[in-house]
Structures are given as structure tokens and as C-alpha cells.
Structure 1
Amino acid sequence: MRRLRALMASAAAIGGVLAGVTPAASLPAPGNTGQGKLTWSSCNDAATPALQCAMLDVPLDYAHPNGTRIKLKLNRLPATAPRSKQQGPILLNPGGPGDSGLWMPAYISGKIPQDVASTYDWIGFDPRGTNASEPHVTCDAHYFDAERPDYQVSKGTSQAWLEKSAKYAADCAAHWSWFLPHMTTVDNARDMDSIRRALGTQKINFYGGSWGTSLGSTYGQLFPSHVRRMVLDSIVGPTISWYDHNILQDKEHQRRFDAFAAWTAKADSVYHLGTDAATVKQKYYQVEDALRTAPVAAAPAPGRIGPAEFEDTFYGGGYNFLRWPRMATVLSAYLTRHDTRPLAIAYNSYAAPGADDGTFPAYNAVQCTENNWPRDWEFWKKDQAEVDAVAPFYTYNNMWYNAACMFWPYQGDRAGRLKITGKGLPPVLLFQATEDAATPYEGGVAMHKALPGSKLVVQNGGSFHEILFHGNACLDDAFTAYLRDGSLPSGKGFVARTCAPEPDPAPVYVTPSPTSLTAGTTLAPTDPQAVHGVR
């Protein structure tokens, strides 16, 4: 405990000197930010030769636009339609906070009819401080290294996690105190307007998923006259605190885990894990408990897969139900064949860390800074235990992922989250699933209420987080029509259109290939969207 107190004091001392997130209301009125110019050149992308790349200088602090500059990495897929039919740039963000948008121009433009796609300049970008933008903020490159402490507080690891989280916050502050207070959603929205200015256009179009919906609505609140069309997919509610949002996530992830267990039980002839959901869930916890005693090699990733890595491998099923066959195979292989290869493959595909802490600094810099988080561990312990009683699958995993906010030195009031009113915005098109685990349904309802004139399209059920571009014509056709000519769903009720989810995946045993785990192999999800979105 003495070490933890020292770490807390260190973070507080740094924060006491440097904290101070400039409230959005006190920033100068939108003017020329002094952003740099865009010089496009080939990205040398063999799969998409037309893709162009550029770096853009923007102010670190928009309250001092002539001060320190940072760089944003952008790419674009230019419109190919005749100039008279072109509809301008559409900026793209997949969420995170902090995830790269550079994969999106080629991917999304390839998912809609080319007579529509060809009329837009598709613009991807890496948010400030992340990925290929400069600088790339790294607080602790080894934070996610396996094997990490058990998430479950009943296993006596709370002190280890508190120390780990406090040290992470202190390391971030020690190395990036000049940058972290300027990574809020408002800062990123102002970056979008710098991009608009550099593109030389009066209005932009926007597609955002997950945290990208918060980014888009914030941009629309700051710069409504510069929005032409806006699509928000899988929506973060505009009024809920990030702490409370995580509690909603816990409950929805439990629902999706229950759905996975029921789906697996129907396929007992394939997986042999039981014919009812309760038995399947018991088998899941049986494997997790076994990994506490005997972790397995994570190769080709370094380290070992213990209970924390196991949980991380499975929670992604709430984002993408196409993972369910592999997840069920992991349990079946371990319990019925004593085979750990499917577990190692799934971990490397879904949960193994990259070369550093990735977008985790940006995630914390946005969420921890934009609200007042509870600072008292005793409050967290009591409050989260109540959530865990009804949603044990994800609660403590999610709690420790966000625990750095307990110690973050730049907590503010609500300076980073504007009140969203939609004043001056054109009609916004909203997409939301009723069983979205990462951005629960309540967020879509709240955003629809906050944006007069918006239209809400609802998927009644669960399949993916970020529900567009998976081949669901009911959803995708609404997006295409809106981008084509601004047409909106004609329904007059609160929900303008209701769509069914995609059918459940076929239950198949995913047999490992002989080369699945060769040294140096990099395994990745088949769908780029699988790894994006508010955790």
C-alpha cells in the first residue's frame, strides 16, 4: 500500500502543476487555426494504388494556435466521378478513442455502389497522438504484456492492479504532460476542422462509428455550418458519463455472452459443451479456472495466457458474433481434446498486444479527462461489486481497463464533452443496434433526442458493433441513399426504420492449420471493423 500511495502522490503532484484542460467555451471563436498545407503523394499501397497520403500540421493547443505544432497522418481516395457530380470530402473515424481511420477509405468505399462512392473524396486520418500521427504517445510499451494479474477481485489481485494503474497514470504524466490535456474529443473535433480548412472546402461529410459518434456530434456542435451530411453508427450517448457508460457496457456484454452460450448449446453435436446455456457458461469458467493454475504459452506472442488474457480473448465476441465459432472451438478443444492451440490462435487474433500500448494513452486522455471520475477505491469496490452481481462476464475486466482514470492527473468537469443540441445541423442519420455491447442502445435513443431532425435506424438484435457494411441491405441501403442525394428513411415514428440482424453464424469446429502458430506469424481478424470501437 505504501508503494501505491507514493504512485498516487506522484500523479497528483504532476497533475497539480499541469492540470488545466481549457474549457471549450473559453477557446477563441473559430478562426484560421494556422494549420499547415496538405501535400498529397502516393501511399504506395499495392491493393489500392489510387490511395494518397499526407501529413498535416495543426496546433497542439487551439487556445494558442500559433504555438507548438503536431502532425496528423491522413490518407484519401479521391473522387473519380465527373466534377459536376462530386459531393466533396467525407471524413471517417472508427472510434476507439484513438483508433486509426487509415483503413477506412478503401474499405468503406468498396462496400457501397461505385456510382455513389465515386462522388466523394474518402478521407481517413489518425487522431492526434496516435498511430502514424506525430508524436505517437506511448506511456508504457509493456503495459499489456502477458501474463497480467487476474481481473477477478476475489483472487486477491486488486492491490496489484491498483499499483499498475496508478503507475501507468504517473508514467503518462511524467512523459507527456505537455500533450495529454490536449487530447480530448473537442481537440480532435477542432483537428477535423483544420483538415477541412486544409482541404479548401466549406463543408464536409462525416461517418463515425462508436467514439466516432461522439467526435462527429461534437464537431457538429462546434461547427454546424460546416456539416453537409453526417452518419453516426453505434452511438455513445451525449449526456452519460464515461464511468456510467462502462456500467451499461458490462450489462450488455453479459447479454451477448449469454447469447453466445445459448448459440453454443444449440450446437452441442459440434462442440460437446452441453445442451443448455448454463452448462456452456460453466465450461467457460472451468477453463478460466484451469488457466489460473496452469497458464498456456501464448506463442507466437510472448508470455503466457492466464485468466486475464483468456477473458480478453472472449469479450470481443460482444463486438463481432462471427467470432463465436472460434470461441466455442477454444473451449471445446481445451476440454474435450486437451488441445490449447485454438486458444493461442484466438488470443493472437483478438487480444495479443502490439509493439507498445497502442491507443491506450489516447483512450485514457479522452475518457479520464472529460469527466470527474470517482477517486476512492472503496467506492469503486462497492459499486462494481453490485454490477458484477448481475454482469460477471465483463465487469472486472472493464473496471481494471479503466482504472487509470482513478489516478489520472487531468480530470476536469465536463469541459471535454459539449452539450449536444444539434442547433444549425442538417438532418443526421443514426444507426443503432438494440443489443450492441460496446455502445448500448440507450446512447442511440439519447442522441436521437438531442439532434432535432435526425433519423434513427435500429437493428433489432445483436450481431456487430458498428452495424454498417456487413452486407445487411436494410441498413446499408439507408446509408447509400443518404450519401447519394440526402434521402432519409421515411418512417414517421421515433424509429424511422427497423432492420433485422444478420443470421447467426454456422456452428463449425475451427480446426487449426499446421502453420497457424509458426514463429513470427501475425494473426488478425478477417474484418477490419472487428477491433475498432469504444471498449
Structure 2
Amino acid sequence: MRTAALLCSAAGTLLLGTLTAVPDAETGTEAAETRGTALAAARARAAGIDFGPCPDAQDLPGSMRCGTVRVPLDYARPDGEQIRLTVSRALATRKDPGGTRREVRRQGALVHNPGGPGATGLYFPLIGLLPEWKRIAAAYDLVGYAPRGVSPSAPLSCKDPKQFFQGPSQAPTHPSEAYKRQRIAQAKAYARGCAERAGDALRHYHSLNNARDLDVVRAALGEERLTFLGSSYGTYFGALYATLFPSHVRRMVFDSVVDPRPGRLWYRNNLAQSAAFEGRWRDVKEWIARHHRVYGLGRTAREVQRGYERASARLAAEPAGGKVGPGQLQGAFLQAGYYDDQWPHRAHALSAYLRGDPGPLVEQAQQYPEAAAEAENTRAVYLAVECNDAPWPTDWRVWDRDNTRLARVAPFETWDNVWANLPCAYWPAPRQRPLDVGAGPGELPPTLILAAERDAATPYRGALELRDRLAGSVLVTERGAGAHGLAGGPNPCVNGHLEAYLLEGRLPGRRADCAPHAEPEPRAPAQPAARAERPAAPGGPGSAGRLR
């Protein structure tokens, strides 16, 4: 992680003059938004939520119910256009999961956001069915919701979903000038599409409004104070919430933390992520090399890298199944950087492909047309939030300079991350002025921060920064591990601290360390490829978008 931090520091040096923003400058606007949030929350408390069957009730247990909450599109105009956020809930079971007849004390609602930006939290209540969550599900109503812009909550779209997946794609680690010009044209077109499809509403999809929406959801649930679990990007607007509404906080868990420093949002954070993924990619390759007897991909990380490069070159010449090119291969292994329980499946697919069987790779890496609408909606929300949140460089030469430099030492994700975020250079909506998050002693109840030391999606530096900004917060670190999203995952030490905090309000000392969870066991290539990974824990690949 030290190497990644140094790479990021070098690559993230920018001329501030290249960043432009149209801040929410007038204090009158900010005051109006404060009044509008209070008014919307009061109305939501009076209306409550009329829970009934969920939109996809045929696929969901009857214990999960759904309803909607009205929020203003623009909090400065609370009587103007309204949008509806869809909320899901599973009531606390109140049953002791230890099998006794003792009834557990209900502690209110636990609201979750899985990150993104652009991920839906509607399926979060189902996590109470997993053994790791039984005790928490006994005490809390588990509540999820689709944030503004995420279907079905006033969904955003920037492009015809039928054109979103366009077959096999390239993934050059050192792109040509012609390729760069092509991607710049695509980024400009995507930004124009967002403006054309969303109109003036586009400017209202940002993190500050996500934090305000969360307070309205709290009020609609009838909660005087919020208990919240934010994962990945959810930690950022959770930190905004703690700053804006400290007296409304009961307990907050920040799981896999975004660096909240205003100057890092979001351009520099993406540089840091690209640098960190190089270290995580090395972790993946070293694990595969340790299991050469199973996968036959090499006894060293360098040999595994050569195999990956052979596969990428072969896919560039002839996409597997006509649908999987180098871009899809890179995307599959990028997901493995988030969760190490994907390593056996990814290694098996690469091994099988190099031995002449493309089936497992096609199964794991291809993009399915039936998922295009959801994927396009996720990307639209991701870009709207991050592009609106803060200044971005508007001069391509800055992007080219910084990322060319970074790609020399961190080629795995760097350029892919550029193409994912480049529409922000040409964004048509005004930018917010990032809030300097923080809370002094006594302003906020103690909060719990969870972080893996080698997390690449949200590098560990962010957890240290948030701990220092929220007085009374305690950081629990999973040492020597890099999974993204720790709550309710495979580490019993981490889960013990989570339960102690949520169920008893008990925190360890200033910081606590947990040993890493066990590495995944290799799976022999002779076995059939798995069609499904384990259910995503909060903040996992379901977190969508690039981060997060």
C-alpha cells in the first residue's frame, strides 16, 4: 500500500487552475436548501411509508415489503417538482438466533446504502437471511432503498440501453493517439446525452442531495435518530449526513471508506484507485502462482501476467464467443480485485481459455443484453453524481499527462478508469462545492469505521482520513487483506466488532486490528465453472459503477 500511495501522490499533482466549478455560491441558496430539507422531512414524518408488495414481489420473500417516499428534486424549492424514492424493509425478527425463547429488544431501523454511486439498496433486507446477519436482523428492521436516479427512483438515463453493450471491446494499457481521440468523442457524446435526456433536472443528482434524501427517509420511517450502514461510496454521503445532521445520528458504520477530502473528489481519488489496483492485481497474480499445480498459469506473478497478456492478445484478434474481448477480460479480473472469493473462478476461466476452452471465460465475462438497462442506469447515476459533486479537469492534456505518467507503473486499471470518468471533463451541469466533512468532540455519537488494509477500490488512506475528521470514531482494520466491503463478510473478528457496536453501542479502543480472513481455496479446472458467486455483502460488486 505504501507504493500505491506514493504513486498516487506523484500522479495526482495537478494545476488547480485546470479545475473549474460553478459553486452553489449564494448563502441564500444554502439556507433555502436547509429549510427545504426540514420541511420535506416533516412532511415525510407525517405521511410515513405505506409498505406493500415490492415491484418484483414474485421473486422476493413475503417478509420484504416496499413503499415510496416523496422528496423534492430541488431542496431549495421544496414545493416544486417531487420525485419518489422506493424503500424496502424487512421487520426485525425479534427472535434470538441462538434458539432460545428470549425475545430480542427491537432497536429501530438499520438503513443501508451499498455505494456506487448508482447501486440499489432495495435487496439489502434479504441479507438478514444469512447466518452472519441473524443477530442484527433480530434487533433491527433492515431497510434499503434506491437513491435518486437509481431505478425505480426517478431513474436517469444518458443513452439508449440497446446501444449500451456494444460487443467485444479493447483495453489498451498504452493507447494510441487515434484511440484516445475516439474515446474523447464517445465521452463528449455521452455527456451530451445526459443533458438531452435529463434536462435541467440533471444538476440535482449529487451527493449533498443524497444526504438530504437520507434524512427524509429517516423521518418517513419514524426514526428520531438514524442508524446507518454505508458501504464504499455510501461512506461519503454518510459522512456528509453526519456533518449536516449530527444531532440526527444514533449509530453509523462506514464500511470501505472513500477519502472525503474536498480536494480529492473525485479526480484525484480515481488516480489513487488506479494506483491501488496495481497492488491488488499483484495479489491476485501471486495467489494464482501459488496454485500453479491447479491452474497451470505459472509459478510467479510475472508468468501469470504473461499468460494474461497472451489471452488478451488472442481475444483482440478473435473475441471469444464473438462477445468477449480484452475489455471484458480486464473487467472480469477487475471485479476479482474487489472480492477474493472470485479468484478461483477467474483463474479457472483464464486457464481453460489458454488451454483451448473459451466456455468458462465467455460465461463469466460476457455482457448480457437483458442487463443493459440496469447497467446503463447505473453508469448514468454514477457519472451524474461524481461529475456534479466537484470540479474536474476540463483540459484533456491534464488527464493525458497524469494518466500517462501513472500507467507507466500502474497499467492494469489506469486507462480503463479514465474512459469511465472522462465524460466529467465535458459535463454540461454546474458543479457543487464539496463540503469539508467533519465533527468535533461531542458533536456526533461515536461511529465505527471498517477498512481492509489493501482495499483498492477505496484505498486505506481514506479510512484514516475519516477517522481523524469524525471525533470519537474508531477504526477497525483487516490487516493484510484487500476485500471491498467487510460488514457481514468472512472475517469473524470484523463481524464481532460490527455486532458489538450495532447491538450494544460498544466500540473497541481508538483502533483495532483483525487478522486477515482465510484466502480462497483453489478450484480444479476439471470442475464446471460456477454460474453464481456468493451473495454480495454490502458494498460488493453490486456496488456498481467504477468504485465503489
Give the TM-score taking structure 2 as reference length. 0.86
Secondary structure at the aligned position of 1:228 is classed as: strand
**CA displacement at 1:25 relative to structure 2:** 3.5
Which of 298, 301, 313 does residue 289 from structure 1 map onto? 313
**Aligned: 1:39 with 2:60:** no
> What does residue 419 of structure 1 align with?
437
2:23–2:432: 8 Å Cα contact kept in structure 1? Answer: no
Q: Structure 1's 133 and 388: CA in aligned 2 closer, same or farther, altered over 3 A?
A: same
Give the drift of 1:349: 8.2
Pair 1:528-2:536 in alignment: yes
One of 249, 252, 276 as aligned partner of 1:230? 252
Q: Within 2, Cα distance between the matches of 1:63 and 1:173?
A: 21
Q: Which residue of the partner structure matches residue 325 of structure 1?
A: 344
- Residues 1:80 and 1:413: Cα distance change in structure 2 (over 3 Å): closer
Residue identity matched to 1:31: A
1:215 positional shift: 1.6
2:149 to 122, 126, 129: 129
Against the structure 1 CA distance between its residues 474 and 195, is the aligned structure 2 distance closer, same or farther, given a 3 Å change threshold?
same
| Cα deviation, residue 20, structure 1 | 7.3
Deviations 1:82-109 (A, max 9, x none): 9992211111011001201011112156
Q: In structure 1, what is the Cα distance between the partners aligned to 2:440 and 2:63?
A: 36
Asked whether 1:86 is paired with 2:106, we answer yes
Contact 1:309 1:351 in 2 (8 A): no
Are 2:77 and 1:64 equivalent residues in the alignment?
A: yes
Quick check: 1:448 aligned with 2:443? Answer: no
Contact 1:349–1:524 under 8 Å retained in 2: no
Residues 70, 135 of structure 1: 8 Å contact kept = no
- Residue-by-residue CA offset, 1:289-309 (whole Å, 9 max, x unaligned): 1211111226xxxxx222212
Does structure 1 residue 251 correspond to structure 2 residue 251? no
Q: Look up the match of 1:519.
A: none
Q: Distance in 2 between matches of 1:275 and 1:342?
A: 22
Which amino acid in 1 is paired with 2:214? M
Gaps of 5+ in 2: 1-19, 96-102
1:260 corresponds to 2:270: no
Residue 146 of structure 1 contacts residue 309 of structure 1 at CA under 8 Å; is this kept in 2? no
CA distance in 2, matches of 1:91, 1:115: 16
**Contact 1:20 / 1:181 at 8 angstroms: preserved in 2?**
no
Which range moves more in the overlay, 431-440 or 100-109? 100-109
Q: Supply the distance in 2 between the matched residues of 1:168 and 1:511 (Cα, whole angstroms).
A: 43
Matches within 5 A, 1:92-241: 92-108=112-128, 110-112=130-132, 114-141=134-161, 142-155=163-176, 156-239=178-261, 240-241=264-265
Q: In 1, Cα distance between the equivalents of 2:70 and 2:307?
A: 53
Deviations 1:390-439 (A, max 9, x none): 11111111111111111111242524x44333572100000011100100
Superposed counterparts of 1:325-364, under 5 Å? 325-335=344-354, 337-348=355-366, 354-356=372-374, 357-364=376-383
- What is the deviation of 1:511? 4.6
Question: Which residue number in structure 2 is paired with residue 5 of structure 1?
Answer: none
Q: Report the Cα offset of residue 338 of structure 1.
A: 1.1
- Aligned partner of 2:186: which letter? K
Alpha carbons of structure 1 residues 172 and 403: separation in structure 2 relative to 1, 3 Å:
same
Instruction: Call closer, same or farther: CA 1:149–1:261 in 2, change over 3 Å.
Output: closer
CA contact (8 A) 2:324 2:366 kept: no
Q: More deviation in 505-514 or 169-178?
A: 505-514
Q: Deviations over 1:315-355 (max 9, x none)?
A: 111100111112212221122x2111111011148999533
Structure 1 residue 276 corresponds to structure 2 residue 300: yes
Q: What amino acid does structure 2 have at the position aligned with 1:408?
A: W
Match of 2:11 in 1: none
Change (3 A) 1:351 1:161: farther
Which segment drifts farther, 443-452 or 349-358?
349-358
Q: Name the structure with the higher helix share.
A: 2
User: Deviation at 1:527?
Assistant: 2.5
User: 1:458 Cα shift?
Assistant: 0.3
Tell me if structure 2 keeps the 8 A contact 1:387–1:395: yes
Gaps of 5+ in 1: 1-15, 299-303, 517-522
Q: Taking structure 1 as reference, are residues 149 and 281 closer, same or farther at Cα in structure 2, changes over 3 Å only?
A: closer
Report the secondary structure of 1:91's partner residue: strand
Q: Partner residue of 1:13? A: none
* 1:2-21 equivalence runs, <5 A: none
Shift of the 103–62 alpha-carbon distance from structure 1 to 2, 3 Å rule, reads same
Corresponding position of 2:408: 389
Distance 1:131 1:164, change over 3 A: same
What is the DSSP-based 3-state SS (H/G/I as helix, E as strand, rest coil) of the residue aligned with 1:90? strand
Cα distance change, pair 212–111 in 1 and its aligned pair in 2 (3 A): farther
- Provide the rounded CA distance (Å) in 1 between the counterparts of 2:164 and 2:349: 25
Equivalence for 1:3: none
Which whole-Å CA distance do the structure 1 matches of 2:25 and 2:53 have between them? 37
Distance 1:209 1:350 in 2: 26
Kept after mapping to 1: 8 A contact 2:454/2:483: no
Q: Which amino acid aligns with 1:255?
A: G
- Inter-partner Cα distance in structure 2 for 1:55 and 1:467: 29
User: What is the distance in 1 between the residues matched to 2:384 and 2:496?
Assistant: 36
Quote the offset at 1:481 in angstroms.
Answer: 0.7
Question: How many residues in Structure 1 have an aligned counterpart in Structure 2?
Answer: 501
Equivalents in 2 of 1:439, 1:57: separation in Å?
A: 32
Pairwise mapping of residues 499-510 of structure 1 onto structure 2 (< 5 A)? 499-510=514-525
Q: Match for residue 88 of structure 2? A: 75
Q: 1:450 to 1:361 in 2, by over 3 A?
A: same
- Kept in 2: contact 1:268–1:275 (CA 8 A): yes
Deviation at 1:47, TM superposition (A): 5.4
Give the fraction of aligned pairs with identical amino acids, expressed as a percent: 33
- Contact 1:256-1:435 within 8 A present in 2 as well: yes
